[in-house]
Amino acid sequence: MKCPNCNSENSDTAKFCKKCGSPLDGEKTIDHKSVINSISGNKTNADNNTTKIIIIALAIVAVVLAGAFIYIYASGNSSHDNTNANDNSAAQNKTQVDTTPEEKTATQTSSSSQSQSSTSSMRIRGGSFSTGSAEEDKTYAQIYVGKEHAGKSVIVQIFYSRDGNSLNHGNMVPANVHSDGYLYITSADAYHYYPDYATIKLYDSNSNLIDTQSVSLSPTSGTQTF
């Protein structure tokens, strides 16, 4: 009988190999190398699985921490903005509460005074009137107040008359001084007669009279300067 382990010849009645001592009675032998390799393989797989689990767990923790940081940062900024807004609102409310009616009136008066002072030196320095050759033509006035007043807002009122009779109601017309220092005012209606007299009244933007001038005209068509 040959030994299944070392192939040595043994007697048929031998139960163990005379050379290596392996059992010869047909009992299953144990492949120690296979057992060891199997155990090693199982251990390696277990280690790999453990490593994967650890990596996944660390990734989840990192994502959670990043989300928490972003949430805290955003909440902090929102709180800061709300605080600033509340502080600004409180400051405005405090200013409104602390301002007495007398102070408000003084502030409004100051603003009005500044507006008046910007046009208080404005005067009518000259200009011209243009009338058409037909009844349907309107009358045009060019009033010179000076280039230094360019861009300022005023109100102009012009009364036209003929032989002592009024030709219009003298509408108050808002106007801005052009860059050339002139105010250009067109009559609201055409007149049946050429005017022979015009009265110009100049107001600031708050309707305070700052200058007036009367002009005698020839009751004919064309342009007349004054």
Domain boundaries, the chain: 121-225
- Which element (helix H / strand E) includes 173? strand 172-176
pTM for the model: 0.50
Residue burial 173-192, b: 16+ Cβ < 10 Å; e: rest: bebebeeeebbebebeeebe
Express each pLDDT in 107-152 by its tens digit. 555 554 454 457 889 999 999 999 987 666 899 999 999 999 999 9
Fold of 121-225: Immunoglobulin-like (2.60.40)
Phi, psi of 197 (to 5 degrees): -155, 140
Express each pLDDT in 19-46 by its tens digit. 888 887 654 444 545 545 555 555 566 6
